[in-house]
A and B are shown apart, each in its own frame.
Chain A
Amino acid sequence: MTLTESSKNPEQAVFRHVIPAGEHYLFEVKKGQTLRLLDLDGNQAIDTLFYNADNPRERYDAQRTLRRQGNVYLTTGSVLWSGLGNPLLTITADTCGRHDTLGGACAQESNTVRYALDKRYMHSCRDNFLCACLHDGRLHKRDIAANINFFMNVPVTEEGGLTFEDGISAPGKYVELRAECNVIVLISNCPQLNNPCNGWNPTPAEVLVWN
């Protein structure tokens, strides 16, 4: 894995916001701005969806993104393509090394399948996504598709195996993305407690935006 640092100074960010553990956050980034997602305490999955703010039906397309880069992991240089075949953002820096887009988001319903039927009432990313979407009004359930799990480690083997492993992230690791159009960013700072995606201890994450 190749790590790429950024020269951007957090003091010069035009916008900063800390998302507490387990909460959602929906905001916009303008074309040309740079977004940093910062894993403050380490091993925190940041479940993220991107939409074209000028046409919210146009959203991040995981399969096109993976196919066009010919690789299953996201890192510096990855272009995040939309379902209409347009670039939404480009990853410009990454001190973690790779990020997942196959693992999806946890949901009450998928928790019943993956762990036990009585896990239904634990908090989940899909609850966060729905709550943020319905408050915003531009997005609905049908707009929620396969997301990116920044800082999450989901290795795929040549034999077709797929597992959730302990994180490869650490306190202070970050990923930066340049917006190629005006984007809606929808984040669930993952509350999952049933697997190691958050190091068994969900923690806050910070977003920073530079012009």
Chain B
Amino acid sequence: MTQLHHAATPLREETVPGGGHLSFVLKRGQILRLTDTDGGANVSMMMLNAHEKSERLNLPDTLKGQHTAKLTTGHCFYSDMGRVLTGIMADTCGWHDPFGGVLNAAETAEKYGQGRYQELRNGFYRNGMDNLLVEMGKWDLGLEDLLMVVNFFSKVSVDADGSFRFISGFSQPGSFVELYAPMDTLIVLTTLQHPMDPNPEYAPRPVQLSWFTAEDTQACENALHTRAENDRALTNTHLFAL
């Protein structure tokens, strides 16, 4: 049974259609739920300190600090300044991918063929890099701010020789993951297929977002005290907020 740290009623809900992009500040003490309503969705995400945007999600620090190559309940997303941007409070998937990144326009055309606005109108083939760049541009961020992204709802395992293996059909309809923010965190996301998904058809899935107020922020942090590294990163986060 997944333990939830918020009331049933969300502050706000929004469905991002497949291929969409969105950015917003997840405020300190809030929880964001991402729901894969139809199954097989993928969300590529960047996170930044909302007040000092040169402080950004650092996936290498996140992975090495927690000795993991996958992300699930109890894991924190560390910034390059040793703080916790968000932590995973609940997860019915069990695995979110730090490897795959996003495709650019040329890679998208190479994979799915041409899909221009001129013919397809708003069904045109979007690409993760441009979607994230556009969204980051709204906060006056640039190319240099696009770092390694997390791909939620996707699993990529690594074989003994280092080869990647994308697990098709991993996320089931209704799967969800919840992120708790111990500081104000700028979330930038796009809903596109995982770059390693072998499906040759451009068919990105929608994702529902729900915002909640955490009932007990201390209980949320306690749930992230899964290892000493996270305790210290949360201490750094508190010092920043003094």
Contact = CB atoms under 8 A, between A and B. Distances in A.
Interface of A: 57-59, 61-64, 66-67, 70-73, 83-85, 98, 102-105, 107, 109-110, 112-114, 116-117, 126, 140-147, 154, 156-164
Interface string B101-117: 11010110000000000
B148 A116 contact: no
B63 interface: yes
Contact of A57 (B59, B83, B143): B143
Contacts of A58: 143
Interface of B: 54, 58-61, 63-65, 67-70, 78, 80-83, 95, 99-102, 104, 106-107, 129, 142-149, 157-164, 195-196, 229, 232-233, 235-236
A113 B82 contact: yes
Contact of A116 (B65, B104, B232): B232
Contacts of B149: 63
Given A71-B161, A83-B146, A112 B60 contact: no
Contacts of A116: 232
B236 A113 contact: yes
14 contacts: A84-B104, A84-B143, A104-B59, A109-B80, A109-B81, A110-B80, A110-B82, A113-B236, A114-B65, A156-B69, A159-B157, A160-B69, A162-B64, A162-B68
Contact of A72 (B64, B162, B236): B162
A164 B82 contact: no
Nearest to B100: A67
In this complex, the member of A61, A126, A143 whose beta carbon has the largest number of chain B beta carbons within 10 angstroms is A61
Contact of B64 (A63, A141, A154): A154
A200 B158 CA distance: 28
Q: Which 10 A-B pairs have the closest CB atoms?
A: A104-B60, A63-B101, A109-B82, A160-B70, A162-B69, A73-B162, A156-B158, A142-B144, A72-B162, A71-B162
Given A57-B144, A63-B99, A64-B101, A103 B60 contact: yes
A98 B99 CA distance: 17
A102 B64 contact: yes
Contacts of A146: 59-60, 147-148
Contacts of A107: 61, 80, 82
A20 B129 CA distance: 38
A161 B68 contact: yes
A211 B70 CA distance: 42
Nearest to B79: A109
A158 to B, nearest CB: 5
Given A71-B164, A117-B232, A145-B147, A163 B67 contact: yes
Contacts of B161: 71
A104 B64 contact: yes
